[in-house]
Amino acid sequence: MNTRILFFVLTLLAGVVLAILGVALSAPIGATTSPAISNPRVEFAPMMFVAGVTLMFGSAVVYELIGDR
């Protein structure tokens, strides 16, 4: 496999994993009957989602910056 494609896929996969974890950790457990339970389970989970999406878009930059032999 080409090095360029390998780094692209790894960066894209890392972004997808971070985005999925960010969404999963933001979701409250149980019914949202009070405002206190509607807060994210992990405080930095929304930032994980944003970092994952940014990394997914950054994978295109990685693809372009790594030269092809």
What pLDDT is recorded for position 11? 96
- Residue 64, pLDDT above cutoff 70: yes
Integer angstrom CA distances of residue 26 from 9, 21, 36: 26, 8, 13
Of the candidate ranges 3-7, 14-18, 35-39, 40-44, the one whose mean pLDDT is the lowest: 35-39
What pLDDT is recorded for position 32? 67
Residue range 26-41, pLDDT digits in tens: 887 766 677 766 677 7
CA–CA gap between residue 61 and residue 4 (Å, rounded): 11
Identify the residue whose tokens are 């999406």.
53
Q: Where are the domains of the chain?
A: 3-27+36-65
